[in-house]
Chain A
Amino acid sequence: MENRLAFNDVVDPKHHRKNDLGFFEYTYKAEITSIHRLTGMENLYRIQIVNPEDRKSFTFQPGQFLMLELPGIGEAPFSISSSPSRHGDVELCIRKAGNLTNFLARVPRGAKVGIRGPFGTSFPMEKMYGQNLFLIAGGLGLAPLRSAISYVQENRSHFNNVDIIYGTKEPSQLLFTYQYDLWTADDITLSITVDKPDPSWKGEVGLITGILERIFSERDDSFFKNTYAIVCGPPVMFKFVCNMLTQKDIPMEKMFVSLERRMHCGMGKCCRCNVGSTYTCLKGPVFDYWTVMNLKEAI
């Protein structure tokens, strides 16, 4: 019997179409061009796709993720922390948590890694034009949110009032401290809170919901009519935050959260990221809060 699959016609390793079989395992070669130590646990890796053409054609939206491959060690999903305008010259904020990330922490500058992606849904930034924006992050949630913050900075005139609310457990865990002044310089209100202050801490203390209460008391109700929110952080945090926002009658469809799950493919095949029975990699990681409320096990 003849081979039924004219496979060479189907696979084009230099494809950029999603329906192409060659996309499945295609890995861009990329180089770690700098490693910036943010805290004791988190590093910011700047990773550049080596081929200049691929670097240019690599486009993503804030909130999307990619699969970072360390050949022989493994592959894991990471939210992209850099601005989409930088294309395939991405920054990933990575905490030392498992095998791959602990290995990555020992990799020198200049090492060659692999990138597959980008995958998943994104924060619908264009829908939010002309609106007030709450950008709320807890802990490592600032990693995916930073891409949206960069987008807002670059397109500041499209957005009305923008608040960043950020909370961590301790002051030593604050990420991207060197950028705070740049954010406020772009007329973004930045509120930071920590749970357990150290003696040198002069800022606010408590949970993010405390800051929200303060902001709620400062703004009149009409403010919230034209407000979108992006909330990134642990499920328990975005549950409380989103519930508070609903008190101000912000529709749940105007709040966006990003979920974290185990992933092996990023393309809706391995099933590891399923929440209830929804693929986080295809329908997420960015969901509106209404959808998340309807997902079993999500929060």
Chain B
Amino acid sequence: MIFKVFAKEELRSFFDTLASSNKVVGPVGIGKDRHGDTLFAFEDVDRFGDLRLDYTTTRLPAKRFFLPFRESMASFSLEKGDWKKDISYNIDRPHIFFGLHPCDINALNKLDKVLLGSAYPMPYYAVKRKNMFIIGIDCTPQPYCFCRSMGSDTALHGFDMFLTDLGDRYFVEILSDSAYNLLKNIRTSDPVEGDHVHYMKVVSEKTRKFVTRVDTTDLTKILDMEFQSDVWKQWGDRCLGCGTCANVCPTCYCYNVDESVDISLQRATKDKMLYSCTVIDFAQVAGGHNFRPERHSRLKYRYYHKHRGFVEAYEESLCVGCGRCGESCLAGITVPEVIASVRGEEV
């Protein structure tokens, strides 16, 4: 791994080099919430001044750029009793992601496992994912962050370069050849011993700031043992089944497929639309049978998929601990509280 350091003011010219010929996505402020705190979102950014690299957590993850809420999978031209299917993978030009936190980078790594690494890689995701240039940036843990418990407070791979703020300069970790070459456009230097010490100090300070923890010890077994537990019913009674948690989750990829015929009856489209396992008809089959008709069974399934099934398949949880679902939940259901109660701890 190659490390460099560069003065903070160099970042502006680095941004300008990238933005001059590429589409850049980064965190920007989009308004205030009811407490007067700034709301952040990942948007297209043209000017360096709009970037808010000091952002806390965006309400919505960056997934709309690689798993859009609604996306066309194919279209059909229909002619008397016959049809022709045109499959488009919606290939876009490369996107620069400027300033993703480790949780969001880890979310991509997890998505890669299921969407790219499995028996049937998904082209719609692949074309966007392969065309991402990711600049990660270190963060300050918020009260709702439990990424450290989920092992995703640091990103080991899945980015091109990663910045850590050392006060007057950035410490940069370079993972890709293209990042290395792009950095030739600005003045960088090799880190000296003092930079290493400073970096380690910043990291250990960050680690101390985590206040929320989730105990994942033996969690897969505990989830199995407590499958019939009353706590699921209690959380289920609070759950509204609205699907917000899946919408704001950086790793939720479930979808629905919808086909519709155009009014001329000459064309039809096949769209994929992100879905949520807490929505009532998620597991309903033709004929009306619903495998998970109650809210608590759907909420339980959600935790099962994230914290048990994915662990079974990939040795890691599908949750990165970003805390977005808990922050956005209209009923105030948070992952640390649900897991603690399933473990029989007081909440």
Could you tell me which A residues sit within 8 Å of B by CB distance?
Answer: 1-5, 7, 10-11, 13, 18-19, 21-27, 29, 71-76, 95, 97-101, 110-112, 114, 260-262, 264-265, 267-272, 274-278, 282, 296-297
**Which residue of B has the minimal Cβ distance to A94?**
B286
Beta-carbon contact of B286 and A72 below 8 Å: no
Expressed in whole angstroms, the minimum distance between the Cβ of B80 and any Cβ of chain A is 10
> Within 8 Å of chain A (Cβ to Cβ): is B73?
yes
Beta-carbon contact of B284 and A264 below 8 Å: no
Beta-carbon contact of A19 and B304 below 8 Å: no
Expressed in whole angstroms, the minimum distance between the Cβ of B209 and any Cβ of chain A is 32
Beta-carbon contact of B123 and A261 below 8 Å: no
Could you tell me which B residues sit within 8 Å of A by CB distance?
Answer: 18, 21-22, 73-74, 76, 78, 81-83, 85, 87, 89, 91, 93-94, 96, 114-115, 118-124, 126-127, 130-131, 133, 178, 224, 227, 253-261, 268, 270, 272, 275, 277, 282-287, 291-292, 297, 301, 304-305, 308-310, 312
Please indicate which of the listed interface residues A4, A10, A271, A296 has the most CB atoms of chain B within 10 Å of its own CB. Answer: A271
Other 14 A-B pairs with CB < 8 A, given A13-B87, A276-B308: A1-B133, A4-B94, A5-B127, A10-B126, A11-B123, A19-B119, A72-B260, A262-B282, A268-B118, A269-B115, A271-B253, A272-B254, A276-B309, A296-B227
Beta-carbon contact of A71 and B76 below 8 Å: yes
Measured CA separation A111–B259 after assembly (Å): 18
Measured CA separation A29–B130 after assembly (Å): 31
Measured CA separation A8–B114 after assembly (Å): 23
Given contacts A4-B130, A271-B253, contact A75 B259 (CB under 8 A): yes
Beta-carbon contact of B256 and A264 below 8 Å: yes
Partner of B255, one of A13, A72, A269: A269
23 contacts between A and B (CB under 8 A): A1-B94, A5-B126, A7-B91, A11-B123, A25-B87, A71-B83, A73-B259, A74-B259, A97-B287, A112-B82, A114-B83, A261-B283, A262-B282, A264-B256, A269-B120, A270-B257, A272-B254, A274-B301, A274-B305, A277-B305, A277-B309, A296-B227, A297-B297
Chain A residue numbers with a CB within 8 Å of B301 are 274, 276-277, 297
Given contacts A4-B131, A111-B81, A269-B115, contact A278 B126 (CB under 8 A): no
Closest 8 CB pairs of A and B: A277-B309, A98-B286, A72-B268, A267-B120, A271-B254, A72-B261, A97-B287, A71-B76
Given contacts A267-B119, A297-B292, contact A71 B259 (CB under 8 A): yes
Given contacts A4-B130, A101-B286, A276-B304, contact A24 B256 (CB under 8 A): no
Beta-carbon contact of A282 and B121 below 8 Å: no
Expressed in whole angstroms, the minimum distance between the Cβ of A126 and any Cβ of chain B is 22
Beta-carbon contact of A24 and B120 below 8 Å: yes
Chain B residue numbers with a CB within 8 Å of A297 are 291-292, 297, 301
Measured CA separation A97–B124 after assembly (Å): 31
Partner of A3, one of B21, B93, B308, B310: B93
Expressed in whole angstroms, the minimum distance between the Cβ of A296 and any Cβ of chain B is 5
Beta-carbon contact of A277 and B81 below 8 Å: no
Measured CA separation A267–B272 after assembly (Å): 14
Query: Which secondary structure characterizes the binding site on chain B?
Result: mixed
Beta-carbon contact of B309 and A274 below 8 Å: yes
Expressed in whole angstroms, the minimum distance between the Cβ of B219 and any Cβ of chain A is 13
Expressed in whole angstroms, the minimum distance between the Cβ of B64 and any Cβ of chain A is 18
**Which residue of A has the minimal Cβ distance to B227?**
A296
Chain A residue numbers with a CB within 8 Å of B312 are 277
Given contacts A268-B118, A268-B119, A269-B115, contact A72 B131 (CB under 8 A): no
Partner of B73, one of A25, A99, A110, A296: A25
**Which residue of A has the minimal Cβ distance to B307?**
A277
Measured CA separation A277–B93 after assembly (Å): 35
Chain B residue numbers with a CB within 8 Å of A27 are 85
Measured CA separation A223–B87 after assembly (Å): 54
Measured CA separation A27–B50 after assembly (Å): 45
Given contacts A24-B121, A75-B259, contact A3 B131 (CB under 8 A): yes
Expressed in whole angstroms, the minimum distance between the Cβ of B185 and any Cβ of chain A is 12
Partner of B257, one of A74, A111, A268: A74
Partner of B256, one of A100, A270, A274: A270
Chain B residue numbers with a CB within 8 Å of A264 are 255-257, 272
Chain B residue numbers with a CB within 8 Å of A10 are 126
Chain A residue numbers with a CB within 8 Å of B254 are 270-272
Expressed in whole angstroms, the minimum distance between the Cβ of B277 and any Cβ of chain A is 7
Chain A residue numbers with a CB within 8 Å of B258 are 74
Chain A residue numbers with a CB within 8 Å of B94 are 1-4
Expressed in whole angstroms, the minimum distance between the Cβ of A109 and any Cβ of chain B is 11
**Which residue of A has the minimal Cβ distance to B308?**
A277
Measured CA separation A19–B116 after assembly (Å): 9
Measured CA separation A100–B130 after assembly (Å): 35
Chain B residue numbers with a CB within 8 Å of A71 are 76, 78, 83, 85, 259, 268, 270
Beta-carbon contact of A112 and B81 below 8 Å: yes
Measured CA separation A52–B277 after assembly (Å): 41
